Amino acid sequence: MSTAPALWFDPVSSRYKSPYGAAPSGSAVEFTLRPGRREAFARGVLTARWEFDGDRITETALPWTGLEGDRDLFSGTLKLGDYVGLIWYSLRLERYDGSVEEAGPFQLTVYDAAEEAPAWFGEGVTYQIFPDRFYRLSVPDPEGMVGGRWVHQGWEEEPEYRPDGQGEIRNRDFFGGSLRGVEEKLPYLQSLGVETIYFCPIFEAPENHRYGVADYEKIDPMLGTGEDFTRLCEKAHALGMRILLDGVFNHTAFVSKYFNGDGFYPGLGAGQSLDSPYADWYCFQNWPREYTSWWGIYSLPTTNKHSESWLSYITGENGIIRSWLRAGADGWRLDVADELPDFVVQAIHRAARVEKPDAVIIGEVWEDASNKIAYGVRRKHVLGGHCDGVMNYPVRSGILDFLLGGDGAGLQRAVETQRQNYPRWAFYSGMNALGTHDTLRVLTLLGEGGDRKGDTSRDWRAEHRLSPGQRALAVARLKLGSLLLYALPGSPTLYYGDEAGMEGFEDPFNRRTFPWGREDWELLEWFTALGRARKSLKPLRRGELEWLRCGGRVAAFAREWRGEQVVAAVNAGDQVAHVDLPNGQRLRLEAMEGRLVGVSREAVWDLL
């Protein structure tokens, strides 16, 4: 995507394009070009390619409409009608002698004007729990459970990471965290300001991560029962918290009751008989041994999204989506959402809304969800009726790049790209995290600067811990990054244990057990203060975003809500810096310092 000459068009300024960012269907977008008078242009033209309408091309005249100082103005209106999709527009200025200047193409997202997302998710803090590793009340007995699992007797033991005799890492070692364990720790989560608990999968599955589901209708017995889940939801709701479940519908386990590859379940699975009720739930090339699987991993056979019985099982009146919402859940995060066809995501969204009108659907999308192409298809993730928000990995990259030495302008660009390309409801419903179960522990990343896979062994990464100097630097960086995270629009999402100072490289080292009794109290107090701020300050929950200074090693912005202003300012450099505040005062930032301040006409006061 090209950028326009700054002197005559800027796609992120409302002086040139109004309204800012994405536009609802049925509206119109005003364009104004501002070239210098001496350039002697005669007229402007806007060329639009309507991608979701068969790449239809239209041209809109931008005639001369007046003067602004020493600049000509060329203005016109692009009417959107009932169109929903992406428009790629380019701009052209023409002189009388036939010469031209061009800019573009630029993206315009047109979303369904009827769509609104529930606001609750994006307002508060989300806490991600990997259930097996959060808190256990006793050592469980795995006898008779699917998967041939075994249980660590010691909570502080290292997760198994070495391959077995067949060269496979089977993830069959468990620690025994449970739903009742989470229930016992609800007051702890409340003290962190948590308003949404996001669970990695909790359904019966053979592996400790449970991303290959064996039975969607059953809570994994090591975690508890359906009654335990409903009770947990009720107690969480009473404390002002909601529950977000992980929906893994793209694939199941080979040893699931649906495929039943090892015969564990009594019924006939698709891998046992073509007479199985699940026979068309999978895509066989040569039954039973050749079938489509996720990334070629035989233990995760991919589901057939065109199977009517499969789709009904997931989205029907008594299907998985609605049943677990009925049991107490408040929404779903969709694993590998890009691999689910749009019609499946739409059906999931519709089912959730019918069952619980304020349920949310959050998609796992690692790139810009507004223009993501997967399997040759432009996805409709944030156009309305699909995802209410997505996992905001581009913003994570922007923050981490800045903390590790990048320019503050890059952070602003990462955030603004999302704000420009997403509907407001999707931008404000982003799941914004610095660490997840799929990434390095953020403290390790900020201390080491990378994953170290190129110069270390897996054994080294299992045993390694940051040096005192590395850890001190990582803690300082994490405090700055989390301040930005908690102050930006979208739900600040905390991966369990990051607030306690957990370290770890890739899976499974990023999935160790929570260090109860060994927490980093400096970090814990910091995240507790951030949680209080996010919960109590309306500008951080709902406010507009205004950039104050983003360049070099400084990033600062204001959030404003009904006359209240809060400013987040971070200096990631080694020199003192200053930020000019909206009331005319200046904020001093020491090296490696972050501040959250309230701003009025007369005063400035610290909020942390």
Would residue 335 show up in a list of annotated catalytic residues for this protein? yes
pLDDT tens digits along 49-62: 999 999 999 999 99
Q: What is the DSSP string of 231-247?
A: HHHHHHHHTT-EEEEEE
% residues pLDDT > 90 (the chain): 97
Pick the catalytic residue from 112, 220, 335, 448: 335
Would residue 55 show up in a list of annotated catalytic residues for this protein? no
Counting Cβ atoms within 10 Å, is residue 457 exposed (0-12), middle (13-18) or buried (19+)? exposed
| Distance (Å, whole) CA 49 – CA 78 | 12
Strand ranges for 81-135 from DSSP E:
85-95, 100-111, 125-129
Six token digits for residue 355: 């069952």
| Residue (of 206, 144, 194, 122) closest to 423 by Cα position | 122
Whether residue 2 is predicted with pLDDT greater than 50 in this model: the reply is: no
Q: Is 81 within 8 Å of 26 (Cβ atoms)?
A: yes
pLDDT at 3: 47
Give the model's confidence band at 379: pLDDT under 50 very low, under 70 low, under 90 confident, else very high.
very high
Q: 3-state SS of the chain: helix, strand, coil percent to 5?
A: 25, 30, 45
Mean per-residue pLDDT, 466-492: 98
pLDDT at 6: 52
| Distance (Å, whole) CA 474 – CA 456 | 20
Whether residue 5 is predicted with pLDDT greater than 60 in this model: the reply is: no
Whether residue 1 is predicted with pLDDT greater than 70 in this model: the reply is: no
Whether residue 46 is predicted with pLDDT greater than 60 in this model: the reply is: yes
Residue with tokens 């790049």: 401
| Residue (of 240, 229, 134) closest to 181 by Cα position | 134
Residue with tokens 């068309």: 280
Greatest Cα pair distance in the chain: 85
Mean per-residue pLDDT, 518-532: 98
Six token digits for residue 280: 């068309």
Six token digits for residue 506: 């890739």
Six token digits for residue 318: 């008594």
| Average pLDDT value for the chain | 96
| Distance (Å, whole) CA 595 – CA 483 | 8
Counting Cβ atoms within 10 Å, is residue 113 exposed (0-12), middle (13-18) or buried (19+)? middle
Angle, in degrees to the nearest 10, between helices 408-421 and 393-403: 170
| Residue (of 479, 485, 484) closest to 525 by Cα position | 479
Q: Do domains 17-111 and 543-606 have the same CATH topology?
A: yes
Name the superfamily (CATH) of residues 543-606: Golgi alpha-mannosidase II (2.60.40.1180)
Give the model's confidence band at 600: pLDDT under 50 very low, under 70 low, under 90 confident, else very high.
very high
Pick the catalytic residue from 132, 364, 368, 560: 364
% residues pLDDT > 70 (the chain): 99
Q: Is 390 within 8 Å of 334 (Cβ atoms)?
A: no
Whether residue 16 is predicted with pLDDT greater than 70 in this model: the reply is: yes
Q: Is 315 within 8 Å of 351 (Cβ atoms)?
A: yes
pLDDT tens digits along 259-300: 999 999 999 999 999 999 999 999 999 999 999 999 999 999
Name the superfamily (CATH) of residues 17-111: Immunoglobulins (2.60.40.10)
pLDDT tens digits along 428-466: 999 999 999 999 999 999 999 999 999 999 999 999 999
Six token digits for residue 165: 């005799």
Whether residue 168 is predicted with pLDDT greater than 90 in this model: the reply is: no
- Specify the pTM: 0.97
Mean per-residue pLDDT, 155-184: 92
Mean per-residue pLDDT, 44-51: 98
Domain boundaries, the chain: 17-111, 251-302, 543-606
pLDDT tens digits along 186-214: 999 999 999 999 999 999 999 999 999 99
Q: Is 19 within 8 Å of 106 (Cβ atoms)?
A: no
